Structure 1
Amino acid sequence: MDMLWLTLAAFILLAYTLEAITGFGSIVIALSLGAMLLPIDQLLPVLVPLNICMTGYLTWRHRAMIDRRLLLGMILPGMLVGTVIGYALLPWLDATLAKRLFGALVLWFAARELWRLRHAAVQPVRPMWLSRLLSLGAGVSHGLFASGGPLLVFALAGTQLDKARLRATLVSVWFTLNSLLTLAFLLDGRLLPALPQIAAYAPLLLLGVWLGEYLHRRCNEQHFRVAIYLLLLITGTLLLSPWSLL
């Protein structure tokens, strides 16, 4: 088990480094790789509190760029309701089924992003009702796996937000929802046993941010995005494979 948690440390460092380079969600990457080693319900109480540190810092630093009208009027209402639904469903899901569902989500998102990058596809503007419905689904995914990013980014496709405002708005969503999930983990008794792992992994966040910013100034961001999506594509396939022992 110690070796498994040590390997998870490498995955966490990779995930936060890649997020610092590309802005991509660290939990999706860390949970995708970590789910090949440990059950999802053991990973979430570690990864979610760690995520608060990075998103809290980014939310405060870029608070002036947050689109509060979009955040409060469209994103958070559906995401909050969906997160509660997803959190309530998690104890009823078989561990193998949960892993397969998460694998399908990761596989879909990675394949979609690779196709979009390959074809330079323009995101269509969606009607508000569909964006709200997708936000609800993103909340359910976040409640189950703390990984609502793929569906929420899909829901917000075609918005008029520039890159900086969109990123600031999204990290404020993750900070809000992951704070609530951390409180839920505290109340259901899963947070306290995870505190030693959280404390042990916390320095990796600083290293990941520093390393990511260093690489961001020297490397092509799109190449890193392609590498991430390819990695997630392989991971999603492994999570779905019938011969997987995970």
Structure 2
Amino acid sequence: MELVLFILIILVASILQTSSGFGFSILATPFLLLLFEPFEAIQINLLVSLIISMLLFKKINADIHYGMLRRLVIGSLPGLPLGIYIFLTVDISLLKVGISIIILFLTLLLLFSFRIKQKQTRDYGVGSITGTLTTAIGMPGPPLLLYFSSTNTPKATVRATILAFYLFIYFVSFVIQMIFAGTSQVVWTSTLISLPFVLGGLWVGQYLYRKMDQKTFRILTYILLFFTAIYLLLERFI
């Protein structure tokens, strides 16, 4: 039963990640935590997301905003060690509650048409927050989603730039996780088992992406943000 649940989680999350460029960690992490130890769930999430980005890179290359990508990467560097420090020392459940409240508040602002201009300094700031959340809780998506949604960035640019950024952030985060938290055979075996279903998710996700317009893409973003916020908030009390 656990294997069937794991396969279903990987398949659905891979479809979501491929079709939108985000969402694997948002959807998969809560359910992987039901099946694995926290560090194992985070590392499986990091590895599978990295594989998806690698397999899609050739298809998304033309749509990547390389200037923004560079600033996100540079900005993430100070956040990565901060995140692993938080993972090792801070009560993560309290951190998740705080993050959930912020996400809910900002998503409500977006629903009421709150928008900001994309600026280079803001790219660095968002990168830093993303780096911190990646090594702390394995969930880099929310700050990127909030930022791109508030700047009305075209869906092709959002998807491609986020997936390209994941190539860097997930690889470095996984290395940091291994150094400071260790790894296990379960992580590698589970990742290997997931590969056929990741490939299936990529095929379905590519089809859905071609059918999705900008409005649908934005609605999907809001749903994912609310799902993330509610999960992080309720997890404290479950």
CA 1:215–1:151 in 2, change beyond 3 Å: closer, same or farther?
Answer: closer
Among 78, 82, 96, the residue aligned to 1:81: 78
Among 175, 178, 187, the residue aligned to 1:183: 175
In the TM superposition, 1:23-34 aligns within 5 A as 23-34=21-32
Could you list the runs of 5+ residues in structure 1 that have no partner in the other structure? none
> Which residue is 1:71 aligned to?
69
> Which residue is 1:139 aligned to?
131
Percentage identity across paired residues of the two chains: 18
Residues 126 and 144, structure 2, Cα contact 8 Å, conserved in 1:
yes
Higher mean C-alpha displacement, 171-180 vs 35-44:
35-44
Could you list the runs of 5+ residues in structure 2 that have no partner in the other structure? none
Alignment-mate amino acid for residue 150 of structure 1: P
TM-score, normalisation: structure 1 = 0.77
- 1:198 has 2:191 as partner: yes
In 1, Cα distance between equivalents of 2:221 and 2:154? 19
> Which residue is 2:204 aligned to?
211
CA 1:218–1:154 in 2, change beyond 3 Å: closer, same or farther?
Answer: closer
Q: How far is the alpha carbon of 1:239 from its aligned partner?
A: 0.8
Q: How far is the alpha carbon of 1:31 from its aligned partner?
A: 0.8
Q: How far is the alpha carbon of 1:145 from its aligned partner?
A: 1.9
Deviations 1:152-196 (A, max 9, x none): 343456558533233222211111111112333444531544111
> Which residue is 2:87 aligned to?
90
- 1:150 has 2:142 as partner: yes
Helix, strand or coil at the partner of 1:24: coil
Give the helix-richer structure, 1 or 2: 2
In the TM superposition, 1:228-243 aligns within 5 A as 228-229=224-225, 231-241=227-237
CA root-mean-square deviation? 3.1
Alignment-mate amino acid for residue 228 of structure 2: L
In 1, Cα distance between equivalents of 2:188 and 2:19? 27
Deviations 1:5-62 (A, max 9, x none): 5423322222122223333331121113333454422201211111111111222322
Residues 72 and 126, structure 2, Cα contact 8 Å, conserved in 1:
no
